[in-house]
Structures are given as C-alpha cells and as structure tokens.
Amino acid sequence: MAEGRSCPRIKTHSILKDFDVFWNQKLGTGISGPVRPCVKKLNKERFALKCVPDNPRSRTEVNLHVMCSGHPNVVQVLDVYANDLQLHEDEPRKPYLLMVLEMMEGGELFDRISKEQKFTERKAAMYFKQVADAVRHCHDLNVAHRDLKPENLLLKDNTEDAQIKLSDFGFAKIDDGNLQTPYFTPYYVAPQILEAHRHQTRIKKGLIPTSKPYTYDKSCDMWSLGVILYIMLSGYPPFYSETPSRQITTEMKRKILLGDYQFPETEWQQVSEEAKSVVKSLLHTDPSCRMTVYELLSHTWLNNAPDTHLSSPAVFSDKEGLADINLAHSQQLTSMRIPDCPLTLKSLAESENPIIRKRKLRKSSVDDSVCQDCIKKPTLSPTALKSLRDIIGYCILPPKVDDDENVLNDLVAKCLKHNPEENGFHSILSTWDWDGKRFNSKVDKSQLAHLVSELVQTLTRGSNHTEETDVS
C-alpha cells in the first residue's frame, strides 16, 4: 500500500530569501498563470515555481500534491511558501501560495512524441505504463486526480529514457466514497450520480463484491487514460465535434456516453488488437465496468507491446492540431467532473421568494451556451415533462415486473404522444432502433436514463419549468 507524504510546513518568510525567481520567464502557462523557473540560492539547483491564489481550493491542491509526491512518476513538491505578492501591475498585493516544484526540463509528453523519429507501440506502452503507475499511486492513496490530460504529463529531461511525471493536482480530490450513497431526486440528476446509484443497487443485490469500492472520480481518471492512449496511438482523439466550439456540445456528450468512437483503418490497421483492447476497456461506457488501474497495469500489452510504427508523431507536429486536442480533452474533463458540492433540487414549496429563486437559477447555469439555446426552445407541457421523467425513473429503479421490455415500450410510446416534435428524443430512441412501437435492440437502461436526463435538463433550463424547482 502506498504511503502518502504529509504536508510540509508552509513557510511564511519571503521566498526570495531562499530562491532567485525569474519572474519574466515562463516554462508553461495554465489557468492559474505562468509557471516560472527559479534557482535555489544554496546550491543553484533549478526548480519550477507555480503561484496560486491562497484560498481553500489551492490549499487542497497543495496538500494533495504533496501527499502524492513520494512517487518517481509524480512531480515532487520541494517547498511551499505563503507570501503576499503583486504579480500584475494593475492589481494590489494579494496572498499567494508558491509551490516550488521539481523542474521538468523535458517539457510536455506530446511535444516530445511529435519529435520522435521512430515512435512505436512499445515506446507508447513504456510511456503509458509510467503514467498508469502514477495514477495507481494516487488511487492507492484514495486521491482521484480528475485532470489527467496531455499537458499534465511532463518529462524529467531531454534524454531518450527520461521519466514521465504527473503534475497539476488543481482538481484532485480525496475520494471519500460519498458517491456510494448518492442522494438525488430521481427525475433530475447528473448522469454520474445515476451511475453511482446503479452501482449501489448492484452491490445490494450482491452482483458486485463490496470489497471493490466504486468511486466515479477514479473511474473518470481511467477514462482519461483511455483517451490519452487513443491519442498516443493514432494522433487524434476518440471523441470530437464536427463543429469545434469552446463548449462541449450535446452531440459530443452523447458520443461519450454511448462510447461512440471508431478505430479508422488508416491509422489503426497497424495497431495491435491488444492495444485496442486496452483502449476499449478504458473507454467502457459504464464506469463501474471500466478497467481499474490494477487491471491496466497487469495487462500484457503494457509489458509486451510490439515494435510497430505509429503515425502519431506526424499528426502531433501540427501545433494547432495539438492545441485543439488539448482543448477538447480539457472540455471533456470539465463536463465529466462531479461538482464538489453536489447540486440538489428543492421543491417549490421549500424555496425562497420567486425573485431570489430566479436569480439563483440564472447563477447556477453551468453551460451558458446551452442555456441560451434552450431559451429559444418550445416549452414542454407538464405532462410531456412528466412522461420523460417517468422513463428516467423507470430506468434507474430496480425492475418491478417481469414484463420489463413491454413496460418500457409503453412508457416511450406514451411519451411520444406528448413530445411528438422533440428531435432530441427521437434521436435518443434511434440509438436502440425504435420502430415507432418498440425497441429492436437491447436497451441499455442506464444509458437511456442518462440521455433522457440530459434532454430534460436541456429542455427545462431557461424555460418555464425552471420555475418549478430551485437549485441550492
């Protein structure tokens, strides 16, 4: 079992006593601003300095990064300072946490791959194994990283066999298992919570041993690993939108939930079946069936990958393309992360006055672009809404009758009477070959619940229905 490091004492004297900081240089830039080089005065050793505003969230980042630090594939945190700084001319001095990090001279992993003369499956497996081992270490400590993406995989130096290390614990979270006891109103619920609920039900029925704790966040890390591996092997991501936008589109979410991706012949015909099988097991749509990090590390491909050439370096050398890949991956992670304070819905009777309710609802909108779209959408009648919700409720609750399929077919048919024009609904139904009366393919009820739940969220945001509920 891995042992975590305890948090170093946060130093409150000026960092400039111990380090020379190159404020005008940057090693890279993230959401929290540039990461700068610095040199320890005592021995002239080079480090990277990450400055984050001092607030509870950054304190969590520091704590969890330090905790996971004692592993060769995790960037080490040497020291942490709490100093007041004026980092921008137009801002007053503000409290910051300054993290002195091990210097990763080799830059980001995908930049390195773009320069590889001969990039093979074996090399990809060698890189990937190190990333997986870092994730194993975090998961052993019950930490979900939640931001596994190419930009956070850094190389120690520029040598041929440089180590890869995981960085940026800005979204990391102690996986305290809260999601094993999901609380929600069954009709309006994030897809992730539905999954946790299903898992809970399966444990209760004895279908899954209780010794295998399930947390959605850890399974998200495994999904991210699947996306990273897919990109490493082919040069492009498994899920992308035909119309690039800054917001993840409903269509892309749908593709992710349905696991709707391909292995196009041109780039994938050379790739071994074992590698594809690893990708498939990581991108499994049901998080509770997704490969765990231990299953991944014991997979034969990781230790016995063939020496076949991959086309990814050529694709990565297009810098703009690589930036698009990184952006798409970040957006997908954002859409998958469960908010740290889960949203719950209160009934109208419990809410405060209507003006406050409306204002709260406006503020709670997480996806403005979707919201704007929805305002233009036709209003759903309460009966139509109820019939959609009945389908969700039916799909997430344990079956009560033997005649499962007919009940579902009847519910859908009834719903169609109330929602005849709703294209989103028709498109969901076509996933399982709805012929107007029944489904002709076996319905994955969990996925159906996901998709209808999303549709309900989309249709009710910005419409009259938002007045029926209050988000707190």
Cβ neighbors of 144 (< 8 A, separation 6 or more) are 138, 172, 173, 175, 215, 217, 218, 220, 221
Would you say 146 and 320 are in contact if contact means Cβ atoms under 8 Å apart?
no
List beta partners, residue 182.
none
Quote the least distance from Cβ 338 to ligand ATP, whole Å.
Answer: 17
Q: Which is nearer to ligand ATP, 103 or 232 (CB)?
A: 103
Q: Which is nearer to ligand ATP, 75 or 396 (CB)?
A: 75
| Residue 367 falls in the annotated catalytic set | no
Would you say 119 and 309 are in contact if contact means Cβ atoms under 8 Å apart?
yes
69-102 burial: b if 16+ Cβ within 10 Å, else e? bebebbbbbbbbbbbebeeeeeeeeeebbbbbbb
Quote the least distance from Cβ 169 to ligand ATP, whole Å.
Answer: 8
Q: Please, what is the Cα angle at 260 between 342 and 341, to 5 degrees?
A: 5
Q: Which residues of this chain interact with ligand ATP, rule CB under 6 A?
A: 27-32, 35, 48, 50, 75, 101-104, 108, 151-152, 154, 167-168, 170
Quote the least distance from Cβ 65 to ligand ATP, whole Å.
Answer: 9
Handedness of CA 400, 401, 404, 406 (dihedral sign): negative
Quote the least distance from Cβ 48 to ligand ATP, whole Å.
Answer: 3
Q: Which of 74, 65, 64 is nearest to 166 (CA)?
A: 74
CA dist., res. 271 & res. 267, Å (int) = 8
Q: Which is nearer to ligand ATP, 34 or 342 (CB)?
A: 34
Among 133, 147, 217, 470, the active-site one is 147
Q: Which is nearer to ligand ATP, 83 or 466 (CB)?
A: 83
Would you say 218 and 148 are in contact if contact means Cβ atoms under 8 Å apart?
no
The residue with its CB nearest to ligand ATP is 30
| Residue 376: other Cβ atoms inside 10 A | 8
Q: Which is nearer to ligand ATP, 52 or 338 (CB)?
A: 52
Q: Which is nearer to ligand ATP, 102 or 470 (CB)?
A: 102
Would you say 259 and 451 are in contact if contact means Cβ atoms under 8 Å apart?
no
Quote the least distance from Cβ 111 to ligand ATP, whole Å.
Answer: 9
**For 69-208, where are the alpha helices, taking DSSP H only?**
109-114, 121-140, 191-204
Quote the least distance from Cβ 144 to ligand ATP, whole Å.
Answer: 15
Residues that are catalytic: 147
